[in-house]
């Protein structure tokens, strides 16, 4: 029951933020053109700060072996998600299929998942959750960008991926964590403050997208049902069966399964703007899968603990 309440509270907060972005557009406070600038700010500054900040915490060195396990299990389950999405997405011929596949591949692990992990496993659980987020971000800015990119030149794609601020911030964060580097407060606090804007701005952008969306037409799009079935049901169930079948390390693996069971990533909407895909399906998938997660995440937590 506690987990269900925590999940419901997180979803309500998300929807309030989405409604804020929606209201700002409808009242004329923000113009639709602003979403592109907000997206650039999010990708080049706010998300990198959030990633670096996740490593600015002291940890017990004895947990290093579990941390390594967390990296391995996280990579395994994320790859499973990619394979499931690839196979089930083969029949899709729609020009917006790449953004639908992106929505299936990447969950909203940081915002929806982290509060749940902290409630279930405490501060130590957040360290393993950070390992998942590290692998997640590496995959997002490599495989995810490759799925969405319209560039034909492989060299250009690789250059774009390797020079992205997000991937660079992952490397910086790992160096800080592994070597126990302590940043001065005058540097750490600004990084923390900027990173904390991630959820708010992502959801406001989503609300701005919805403001220009005809909700009735959204449910006529078959891609939405593809995202719901794969992201919210198929991938979590397959990950759970792998967890049980191979008897993976219980704590770190349960955390990875929970994070992989979260709804579609909020950044799906941002990526739709950035790469020129239909914004309606991206924004709709974030909102609707988030609502469904009110029921699916507590169920997954129950299955993992049983």
Q: Render pLDDT for 38-62 as a digit per residue (tens, 0 to 9).
A: 888 988 899 888 888 877 866 555 6
**pLDDT over 60 at 152, yes or no:** no
Strand, coil or helix: 152: coil
What are the strands, taking DSSP E only, across the chain?
none
Q: How would you label 161-179 residue by residue, b for 16+ Cβ within 10 Å and e otherwise?
A: beebbbbebbebbeebbee
CATH code of the domain occupying 2-298: 1.20.1530.20
- The answer, as to whether pTM is greater than 0.85, is no
The alpha helices in 42-181, defined as continuous H runs, are 47-54, 64-88, 97-105, 114-139, 145-148, 154-162, 165-178
pLDDT band of 163, cuts 50, 70, 90 = confident
Give the pLDDT confidence score for residue 73 in this predicted structure.
93
How does pLDDT run across 10-20, given as a tens digit for each residue? 778 888 888 99
- Number of Cβ atoms within 10 Å of the Cβ of 84: 19
Residues 149 and 156: their CA atoms lie apart, in Å, by 10
Per-domain residue ranges for the chain? 2-298
In the chain, % of residues over pLDDT 90:
27
Tens digits of residue pLDDT in 225-267: 999 999 999 999 999 999 988 777 678 888 999 999 998 998 8
- Between helices 250-260 and 235-245, what is the axis angle to 10°? 170
How many CB atoms are closer than 10 A to CB 220?
A: 8
Backbone phi, psi, residue 155, to 5°: -65, -40
Is the Cβ–Cβ distance between 84 and 103 less than 8 Å?
A: no
């Amino acid at each position: 029951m506690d987990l269900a309440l925590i999940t419901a509270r997180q979803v309500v907060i998300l929807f309030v933020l989405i409604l804020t972005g929606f209201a700002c557009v409808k009242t004329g406070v923000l113009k639709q053109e602003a979403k592109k600038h907000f997206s650039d700010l999010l990708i080049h500054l706010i998300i990198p700060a959030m990633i670096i900040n996740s490593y600015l915490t002291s940890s017990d060195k004895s947990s290093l072996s579990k941390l390594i396990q967390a990296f391995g299990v996280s990579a395994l389950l994320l790859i499973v998600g990619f394979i499931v999405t690839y196979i089930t997405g083969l029949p899709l011929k729609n020009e917006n299929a790449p953004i639908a596949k992106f929505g299936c591949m990447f969950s909203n692990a940081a915002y929806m998942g982290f509060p749940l992990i902290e409630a279930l496993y405490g501060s130590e659980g957040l360290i393993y959750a950070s390992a998942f987020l590290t692998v997640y971000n590496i995959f997002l800015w490599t495989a995810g960008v490759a799925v969405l990119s319209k560039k034909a030149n492989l060299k250009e794609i690789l250059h774009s991926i390797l020079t992205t601020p997000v991937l660079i911030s992952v490397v910086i964060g790992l160096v800080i964590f592994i070597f126990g580097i302590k940043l001065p407060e005058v540097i750490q606090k600004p990084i923390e403050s900027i990173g904390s804007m991630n959820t708010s701005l992502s959801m406001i952008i989503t609300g701005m997208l919805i403001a220009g969306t005809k909700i009735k037409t959204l449910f006529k799009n078959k891609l939405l049902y593809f995202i719901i079935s794969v992201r919210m049901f198929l991938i979590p169930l397959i990950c759970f069966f792998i967890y049980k079948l191979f008897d993976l390390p219980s704590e770190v693996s349960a955390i990875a399964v929970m994070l992989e069971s979260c709804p579609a990533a909020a950044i799906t909407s941002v990526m739709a703007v950035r790469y020129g895909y239909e914004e309606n399906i991206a924004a709709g998938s974030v909102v609707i899968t988030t609502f469904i997660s009110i029921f699916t995440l507590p169920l997954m937590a129950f299955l993992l603990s049983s």
